[in-house]
Amino acid sequence: MTTNHINNTKKIAIIGGGPGGLTLALILQRHGIAATVYEREAQDGNAQRGGSLDIHEDSGQMALKEAGLLEQFKAIARYEGEDFRLFDKTGKIYMDDRAEDGEQGDRPEIDRGVLCDLLLNALQPGTIRYGYKLTEAAAMEGGRHELHFDNGEKVTADLVIGADGAFSKLRPLLTDAQASYSGLTMVELHVDAKAYPDQAAFNARGKVFALDDNKGILAQLNGDGKIKVYLTFTVEQSWLDTCCIPFDQPKEAKQQLLAYFDDWAEPLQNYIRNSEDLVLPRRIYMLPVGLKWEHKPGITLIGDAAHLMSPFAGEGVNLAMRDAAELALAIAGHEDTDQAIQAYEKKMYEYSAESAQSSDDNLKLMFSGNAATNLKALFDELYEQFAQ
Ligand SMILES: Cc1cc2nc3c(=O)[nH]c(=O)nc-3n(C[C@H](O)[C@H](O)[C@H](O)COP(=O)(O)OP(=O)(O)OC[C@H]3O[C@@H](n4cnc5c(N)ncnc54)[C@H](O)[C@@H]3O)c2cc1C
């Protein structure tokens, strides 16, 4: 393992303690480079945000290897979570892929909270400062930045990295690009799989996609036995404000949501009927595909802050972790930090643009006419390419 003595004298600030920021701090730590993570939440909140994630071999798993956690990850990852079933609204089944028992695929699942706990447990105590919400950042001479936090603290950093997600506070220092509404709004529900064995059997051990009429019911079994369900609507950005669904009154909200799927097959509707009294609406945002910025010394972005995309390539967390690994290795491998950042940015623009494009293509395909037929055709094409 290389140790970069020059960088050890520099103060590195990472804004955001999501999967990207934590992976970055850990890989830097393994190369003897200290960094501090500033996280706005009062304590780790990763378990509460988002569900099961499939961790890809060439990105997320590559980063875990660099973080020294690949074996630990493999011991707890859910390989059976690669089950995938595809339906249209009538309940006609288009795909029913089941992971072979005991076989290790290349995209095993792990819950976001469990993944972040792995990273957190390996970090040196004191690496993360909770309750530090960045409110303002100002460029100073020599690539340094003054960072202001909402708790009144001020920090000066030689290098600041924005790992602060979709609405990054650091992004405006590099580009005018803003996250825009993708055209999709999701409503998240939860079904206790143990309480509904029929639903659990229908869902199998992984994901179900039911796509039709420019809508979707997307379901995913998590490691805690809950099925996370995302009702997905192609609607105006203002829909959540104008649809009159009382999201804070779950029973009534679920009745009204069911009406949007009144001609869908019963096992699909049951995802709504069987769900708990928690209804979480969220709009899906994205940055322009292929976003780049003019390099500036002393600052860069990783993860959603750099290339927020819709979740339909299943790449978001994988890219955040790959960015973290690429940046940490570049910093450890260059005497000149500025050259390291430029090398990272050049590489990241290329691979993230590809993923952002396929995520956008998949979004259009999955919420257009004949979505189930078209998605099946896309999978067939990919399998064929893979087999060659
Ligand atoms: C519904 C949905 C489903 C998804 N499914 C998948 C999937 O199946 N597979 C996949 O790979 N990806 C998926 N994603 C995307 C994935 O969750 C993100 O791409 C990933 O979490 C990005 O990691 P990150 O570390 O860059 O940012 P985040 O996970 O967003 O972390 C950012 C961190 O920064 C903190 N922060 C924000 N602002 C500030 C501030 N001002 N000061 C200090 N701290 C701040 C936040 O509290 C947070 O801890 C999904 C996303 C959604 C919305």
- For the CA of 164, the closest atom of ligand 1 is 34
Cβ-contact 47, 68 below 8 angstroms: no
How far is ligand 1, taken at its centre, from the CA of residue 308, in Å? 9
How far is ligand 1, taken at its centre, from the CA of residue 143, in Å? 27
pLDDT given for residue 18 in this prediction: 96
CA distance 311 to 295: 27
pLDDT given for residue 387 in this prediction: 74
CA-based torsion, 110, 113, 117, 123: positive or negative = positive
Pocket perturbation via mutation, ligand 1, pick of 22, 40, 181, 189 by most ligand atoms within 8 A of CB: 40
How far is ligand 1, taken at its centre, from the CA of residue 112, in Å? 10
CA-based torsion, 153, 159, 165, 166: positive or negative = positive
- For the CA of 135, the closest atom of ligand 1 is 41
Token pair recorded at residue 365? 């395909």
Q: Which residues are annotated as a binding site for FAD?
A: 54, 112, 304
CATH architecture for segment(s) 180-286? 2-Layer Sandwich (3.30)
Task: Find out whether the beta carbon of 60 lies less than 6 Å from any atom of ligand 1.
Answer: no
How far is ligand 1, taken at its centre, from the CA of residue 86, in Å? 26
Token pair recorded at residue 65? 């290897």
| CA-closest candidate to residue 237, choices 277, 182, 289, 292 | 182
Question: Which value, to the nearest 10 degrees, does the dihedral of the CA atoms of residues 28, 351, 206, 182 take?
Answer: 110
Query: How distant, in Å, are the alpha carbons of 67, 191, 344 from that of 1?
Result: 11, 45, 19
Cβ-contact 113, 76 below 8 angstroms: no
Residue with the nearest Cα to atom 35 of ligand 1? 16
Pocket perturbation via mutation, ligand 1, pick of 207, 304, 308, 358 by most ligand atoms within 8 A of CB: 304
Question: Phi, psi (5° rounding) for residue 66?
Answer: -65, -30
Task: Find out whether the beta carbon of 303 lies less than 6 Å from any atom of ligand 1.
Answer: yes
Alpha helices by DSSP H, listed for 79-151, are 112-122
For domain 5-79+106-179+287-366, give the CATH number. Answer: 3.50.50.60
Cβ-contact 280, 188 below 8 angstroms: yes
Q: For the chain, what's the residue count?
A: 388
Residue with the nearest Cα to atom 51 of ligand 1? 311
Alpha helices by DSSP H, listed for the chain, are 5-8, 19-30, 60-66, 70-76, 112-122, 197-203, 239-242, 250-259, 266-273, 304-307, 316-333, 337-366, 371-387
How far is ligand 1, taken at its centre, from the CA of residue 69, in Å? 20
Task: Find out whether the beta carbon of 16 lies less than 6 Å from any atom of ligand 1.
Answer: yes
Instruction: Give mean pLDDT in consecutive 10-residue pieces for the chain, a chain of 388 residues.
Output: 55 97 98 97 83 92 98 92 93 92 80 95 96 97 97 98 98 98 97 96 95 97 94 98 96 98 98 97 97 97 98 94 98 95 98 96 93 94 78
Token pair recorded at residue 13? 């600030």
- For the CA of 16, the closest atom of ligand 1 is 34
pLDDT given for residue 123 in this prediction: 97
Q: Which residues are annotated as a binding site?
A: 54, 112, 304
CA distance 36 to 305: 18
Cβ-contact 110, 53 below 8 angstroms: yes
Task: Determine what percent of the chain falls in helix, strand and coil, rounding each to the nearest 5.
Answer: 40, 25, 35
Angle at alpha carbon of residue 27, lines to 347 and 155, rounded to 5°: 90
- For the CA of 302, the closest atom of ligand 1 is 26
Domain coordinates in residue numbering, the chain: 5-79+106-179+287-366, 180-286
3-state secondary structure of 169: coil
